[in-house]
Structure 1
Amino acid sequence: MSDQERIGGDVVVETLRALGAETVFGLPGQHALGLFEALRRAPDLRVISSRVENNLAFAADGHARALMAANPGGPAPVTPMIVSTGPGALLTLASLQESVAASVPLLGISSQIPVAGLGGGRHGYLHELTDQQASFRDIVKSVHVVRTVSQIPTALREAWESAATVPFGPVWVEIPQDVLLAPTTLPPITSVTASPAPLAPLPELVAEAAKLLGAASNPVILAGGGAARSGAHAELKALSEALRAPVFSTFGAKGVFGWEHPLSAQSWMEDWHSTEYLQNADVLLVLGSGLGELSSNYREFAPRGTMIQVEADLGKLESNYAALGIHADVKLTLEALLEWVPMRESDGRAEAAVAEVLAKVQSRLDSQPVEVERKLIEDIRAAVPEGTQTFWDMTIAAYWAWSAWNSDNAPIHTSQGAGGLGYGLPGALGGAVATGGPVLAVSGDGGAMYGIAELATAVQHELDVTWLIVDDGGYGILREYLTGAFGQSTATELSRPDFVALAHSFGVSATLSSLDNIGTDLGKALRTPGPSIVVLPALLKMFAATHLEK
């Protein structure tokens, strides 16, 4: 094969470039060689590698989230990811589950065994699965199959549009080995474009919602992740101020509404005072949330008034609570509502109610022995330079951050959508690729071991990531859950490495910190270009979330 001879892999790369891709996350494999040869011949397309496919998918997820946070309301930053057949593809599934839950637009591309071996049966190919598509169908938004080179541009365009159509999400394309390697007479592909269809609300439903909100004496807004994904920041602020409606934010919506705004009740979604205020609204406008387990305070939420739910995911519409359901993009719906709802003069009641809720939350925290945890979050937040994006694993510090983190000028990305371990470092690596850094990753020692190999990735690609590892000697959250439920824990205590020494072996600077020095040490690491680790030995605990007088 000459350097000039174009193959199926070149058509894939050309199509991705035409669609707007500038970065591809990829890990080679035997059946995907045609793709990686094509990437070699496309120097204007940056390739970011990884050590394990699940971390590659987390990194691609972090890349897309960082781009969305940097440009809210802009075009969906679909991020391509390329892996090989069978084991390589399957390793991405847990990560893709997180991307689906968090509505992150990824374009996964997998090789396949040769076309002759497809269609069932067992042909003895390396990495062969009887039906690889079946493993992805119930995880991703859509699966797209290529069987000839000429199908590549259209399949990739359709997949890109699917990923970029609200609700955003990951999609999957599989292309056989021989198709990727096949010589092609197709001309170079330069004109493929994707046009995701907008999901506008029905006018009659907008009119009814505006009527309900206009007549409400105590309207309240609950902003969910869909509000953040749609980039509805300005529209949400305008509607809240027009209605004088307090805004509560779910964990997935942090940053969509100003943390210190007088109408911001922030995101203490596991606190009964927040739940009580939400359920006492005479009209509750829910924007881009399915009111799942966390957002409903573990199903304790029981609305007493009328609920309006705006949701782009049809399957989530009224799936947990009866409502006036509007299947639409949040931003487009708020734009329409703003043309209908009346402007109310501020009498200070809503602001006073918000201040009272937040004071009750703080009083409850003051009554618990959680000074260490509260100060730690404050210290981390103070150490983070303005504009720095943060990526959090499933660890006790992250559980605190879900509620307490001020996301204004410090966006937070977490894996609480699906709740899998290992997101922190690889997600941050993708974020650093997107923004240039610095970015912050936060993990526990248990979650850190899922991604420790990616320190090599950080070094290889010279990524500006500071990784905070809170070392409590085990799976801290599960230890607390098991002890709380049964009085003792099992399989939660972990042997772990000397993280500082391990970091040094990768050529990464590392600091062993303490609760007294964490702010200083973290700030210094974040100001120093390149990868670094700060290890904090600390045994943290969760707050008691439910008010005793509930």
Structure 2
Amino acid sequence: MTHDHDLVLRPTEAQTAAALNPPPGRNGGDLVVETLTGLGATTVFGLPGQHALGMFDALRRSSLSYVGLRVENNAGFAADAYGRITGEAAPLLLSTGPGALTSLAALQEAAAASAPVLAISSQVPSAGLGGGRHGYLHELRDQKASFRDIVKSVHTVRTASQIPSAIAEAWESALTAPHGPVWIEIPQDVLLAETTLPVVTAIDAAPHDLAPRPELTAVAAHLLSTAARPAIIAGGGVVRSDASGKLLALAERLDAPVVTTFGGKGAFPWTHPLSLQSWMEDRHTTDFLEDADVLLVVGSGLGELSSNYHTFQPRGRIVQIDADLGKLESNHPALGIHADARLALSALLETVEDREDDQARERVRTVLEKVRARIASQDLPLEQRLLASIREALPATSPSFWDMTILAYWAWSAFDPRHPNTMHSAQGAGGLGYGFPAALGAAAADRTRPVLAVSGDGGAMYSIAELATARQHDLPVTWLIVDDGGYGILREYMTGAFDEATGTELARPDFVALAESFGVPAHRTTPEALAEDLAKSFATPGPSVLVLPALLRMFAPTHL
């Protein structure tokens, strides 16, 4: 009896001949790029180093597009954004020791945000492995130990024949829900050694489906169908799993109001009559969610920012769907459903009963009116005007990337992304320097639409070197730098806590002159001219910088 898979696996005569006669001059580095190509990768990010030269030389013989950044951490941020935008695993090529370790903060952000980054690092020669101190440059006693607590999985290669399988296994891990970064390391001598192994062709590394258990979705459907006041919190898992359409359909079927977390921006239409938007740091929103008799939480662990700094105390039943098993019931008791958000929402759509609630939309309007009144009472028109100007100028489908800066904190709550998967920030791990290099990664994924990066002057200094990357690769990124002379949000925190700030005031360069020295067009703008200046930048090919001198203030959140 012949099975289908027997036919698929049987090589043709041409394939057999090619396998028996591989081209000469190949090495372990070629096996890396051949495997990546066979898996469907088209773009890689990274930074070369002494032990990794075998991989980088092999790029020259491949069809892969290489985007080289100037700092490994920034290369990690770029790969993170590429993974978020495309939904594909983003290869990140790194060298040993200092080069590898410099990527740690970026990989922490990728892990917190479930971004599929495939980090491939070199290692010292095989003779130096095993925990000894052999004196090799860049040597660490146990390099992978530095990454094991951050990434989803660690994969170690010791021979050339292990390279394709290790990369395929890591690729599958990165793209299996929950998405996340993975780590592979390959010794220098393995990358450089010539190989007579066959050329790696198409390779299968399909991610596993994480389907919900049907008895759990049956209970969840019953709870939601019979609820008097259901509500939904949509987190980043909805965006990562491309489940926004399913969420919209379920919310409308249940007449259930929806609030999106900061990581879930864009998961639900901002102006929909059931949209509570993203005012998570507001007591009116918190009160509304606490009053729900059944609360569906999708793709969120209800962590610090999503629970109004752990002041959220729900009184009703919680149904929590998350692909990360460790997040289920980590903060609140719930009916925990371990599943990919898209598959779980699909299952609920098949089993929930329609319910009508004529008051749901009115209750949403009431909450938003209270929120708007509270913000209006704080007399912060400048910040709101800046967000409105950005929204006016930014094309509806263009992605934006926000660093940890006051304007970004406003945007988490107040900015309308217009579409799913178009607004991203570093709020997962909270590291500085994310916005600009991440925007470069998104632009490398799709050069047909302009990309916005927003930074403060403090965060911008983490990424200045990448102006060279933007220019070298002619990437369509507009970088808005809000210059307030220091770490603005920390200035506010410290002044509020201690009546004065320490370590927050910064000397900084002339950002316009500095950008121009890289060959990147730049000029200063004002709040009045921002929308027009942004529109001009978006309409002009290639990178540009706008510097906005402004002292912004954060709205006062309400926890109690």
- 2:379 paired residue number: 369
Whether the 8 Å contact between 1:511 and 1:521 is mirrored in structure 2 is no
Find the partner of 2:250 among 234, 239, 249: 239
In structure 1, what is the Cα distance between the partners aligned to 2:218 and 2:83? 34
- 1:219 paired residue number: 230
Structure 1: gaps (5+ residues): 68-75
Structure 2: gaps (5+ residues): 1-22
- Matching of residue 177 in structure 1 with residue 197 in structure 2: no
Show CA shifts across 1:10-65 (max 9, x none).
011100000010001021100011101110111x2100001110001011111112
Show CA shifts across 1:467-515 (max 9, x none).
0000000000000000000100000000000001101111111111111
Task: Please report the RMSD computed on the Cα atoms of aligned residues, expressed in angstroms.
Answer: 1.2
- 2:474 paired residue number: 462
Show CA shifts across 1:247-306 (max 9, x none).
010011111111111111100000111111001100000001000000000000000011
Whether the 8 Å contact between 2:525 and 2:546 is mirrored in structure 1 is yes
Q: Runs of 4+ in structure 1 displaced over 4 angstroms?
A: none
- 1:415 paired residue number: 426
Whether the 8 Å contact between 1:312 and 1:328 is mirrored in structure 2 is yes
- 1:91 paired residue number: 102
- 2:398 paired residue number: 388
Whether the 8 Å contact between 1:288 and 1:312 is mirrored in structure 2 is yes
Letter in 1 for 2:45: F
- 1:60 paired residue number: 79
Find the partner of 2:412 among 398, 402, 406: 402
- 1:264 paired residue number: 275
Whether the 8 Å contact between 2:24 and 2:196 is mirrored in structure 1 is no
The TM-score, its normalising length taken from structure 2, stands at: 0.95
Moved more, 518-527 or 163-172: 518-527
Whether the 8 Å contact between 2:109 and 2:430 is mirrored in structure 1 is yes
- 1:21 paired residue number: 41
Show CA shifts across 1:403-436 (max 9, x none).
1110114811100000000001100000110110
The TM-score, its normalising length taken from structure 1, stands at: 0.96
Whether the 8 Å contact between 2:260 and 2:277 is mirrored in structure 1 is yes
- 2:6 paired residue number: none
Residue 482 of structure 1 aligns to a residue in which SS?
helix
- 1:352 paired residue number: 362
Whether the 8 Å contact between 1:137 and 1:143 is mirrored in structure 2 is yes
- 1:479 paired residue number: 491
- TM-aligned CA deviation for residue 344 of structure 1: 2.1
- Matching of residue 45 in structure 1 with residue 64 in structure 2: yes
- 1:70 paired residue number: none
Residue 351 of structure 2 aligns to a residue in which SS?
coil
In structure 2, what is the Cα distance between the partners aligned to 1:221 and 1:9? 48
- TM-aligned CA deviation for residue 92 of structure 1: 0.2
Letter in 2 for 1:339: E
In structure 2, what is the Cα distance between the partners aligned to 1:409 and 1:290? 23
Letter in 1 for 2:320: Q
In structure 2, do the counterparts of structure 1 residues 239 and 428 end up closer, same or farther at CA, with 3 Å as the change threshold? Answer: same
In structure 1, what is the Cα distance between the partners aligned to 2:46 and 2:461? 22
In structure 1, what is the Cα distance between the partners aligned to 2:183 and 2:517? 37
Residue 451 of structure 1 aligns to a residue in which SS?
coil
Find the partner of 1:102 among 85, 105, 113: 113
Q: Count residues in correspondence.
A: 537
Whether the 8 Å contact between 1:442 and 1:467 is mirrored in structure 2 is yes
Whether the 8 Å contact between 1:222 and 1:248 is mirrored in structure 2 is yes
- Matching of residue 517 in structure 1 with residue 529 in structure 2: yes
Whether the 8 Å contact between 1:470 and 1:535 is mirrored in structure 2 is yes
Moved more, 232-241 or 293-302: 232-241
Find the partner of 2:317 among 296, 306, 329: 306
In structure 1, what is the Cα distance between the partners aligned to 2:222 and 2:48? 56
Identity %: 65
Whether the 8 Å contact between 1:145 and 1:155 is mirrored in structure 2 is yes
In structure 2, what is the Cα distance between the partners aligned to 1:337 and 1:465? 40
Whether the 8 Å contact between 2:237 and 2:299 is mirrored in structure 1 is yes
Letter in 1 for 2:50: Q
Residue 132 of structure 1 aligns to a residue in which SS?
coil
Whether the 8 Å contact between 1:148 and 1:179 is mirrored in structure 2 is yes
